[in-house]
Structure 1
Amino acid sequence: MAHGGNIIEELTTDHREVEDLFGRIEALPSGHQDRKRLIDEVTIELVRHSVAEEQYLYPAVREHVADGGAMADKELKDHGEVEKILKRLEGCSADDPQLDQLFMTLKNAVGRHVQDEEDNLFPRLSMACSDEALKTLGDKIRTAKKMAPTRPHPAAPVTPPANKILAPGVGLVDRVRDFVTGRGKS
């Protein structure tokens, strides 16, 4: 899918890509080696997406949306839940009996999170910010995703300024590990 546009368009495109990956995973039989490869791909996408949201979306929501602090806190809690599931999935092999259960838990958690963002958070942010501000945030999100980690780090800070300082370094280490192992390469 094409990326670009404002923050809401960018993140919504990410949501559709992850849903597509979920569908591709579900289409494969349990124990199939490609399930693990696709779960690694979905992990990379979800971690990059989450880090970018934590750096730019949720601070913008806190600043511009009425009761934005509570909304952002709820979304960060959702991210924490998803990241713990991703960490557990990272340790599973394709034939691990826990893989299917963890995958369904992940899919359901991400589905709830996506629906909440698209039904509640995005419309409220759209009403609170100018088109220009939303476009600027879209640019920042795309840049952040390029530098973000690709593996779950549940203990990493999720709020500025610590997350903006640490994420690029952790991201570099993750991308080097991915390159060496071939993880994330189709």
Structure 2
Amino acid sequence: MGHGGDVIAELTTDHQEVEELFGKIEALPAGDKQRKVYADQAVMELVRHSVAEEAYLYPATREFLSDGNRVADKEIEDHAEAERTMKDLESVDADDKEFDRLIGELMTEIRSHVRDEEDNLFPRLRAAMSEDQLMKLGDKVRQAKKTAPTRPHPSAPDTPPANKLLAPGVGMVDRIRDALTGRGKD
């Protein structure tokens, strides 16, 4: 979380980190309790990443791309689907058969979303925005991730201004819950 560089470098590094966690999950046998630990870490990263994109990347998409509203709406819907899957995953243990189904579904959703962003959205934004604009957006995304929630909240607003106003408070509550339960510490 917080790697530096322009917004595209920042978000691409996030994608790589989540993919590494997915690889660790896939390398372990079904039922291994460490799979849940890695899944929790992936969810924490994905939620922070999604909140930052919804607060800053997608408004820039709307502003700088001629079809930006359509693109941003599709990306937000992808996030909503993944967030519902993450919420369902939260309540199952690694030895529950439902865990395997849900983590597989989440990996498929996220990998598809990442391919779409990296192959389509990011190159278009790089062409439409100046390097200075991309750097400033990277700074905003890094700041947003510091205070973002760490747990899925499917019913929370996903567009500005409500998401920018509520995310820090929800994030604080999530981090307190995480500290009390030890979630994400392994």
Tell me what 1:42 maps to.
42
Aligned pair 1:67/2:64, yes or no? no
Gaps of 5+ in 1: none
Tell me what 1:118 maps to.
118
Residue 3 of structure 1: how far off its partner (Å): 1.1
Tell me what 1:166 maps to.
166
Distance 1:112 1:162 in 2: 27
Preserved CA contact (<8 Å) 1:2 1:13:
no
Q: Which amino acid aligns with 1:126?
A: R
Residue 33 of structure 1: how far off its partner (Å): 0.7
Identity %: 62
Preserved CA contact (<8 Å) 1:56 1:137:
yes
Tell me what 1:148 maps to.
148
Gaps of 5+ in 2: none
1:10-89 counterparts in 2 under 5 A?
10-89=10-89
Preserved CA contact (<8 Å) 2:2 2:142:
no
TM-score by length of 1: 0.99
TM-score by length of 2: 0.99
1:123-138 counterparts in 2 under 5 A?
123-138=123-138
Between the two proteins, the alignment pairs up a number of residues equal to 186
Preserved CA contact (<8 Å) 2:35 2:94:
yes
Q: Which amino acid aligns with 1:136?
A: K
Structure 1 stretches of 4+ moved >2 Å: none
Distance 1:65 1:20 in 2: 31
Preserved CA contact (<8 Å) 2:2 2:145:
no
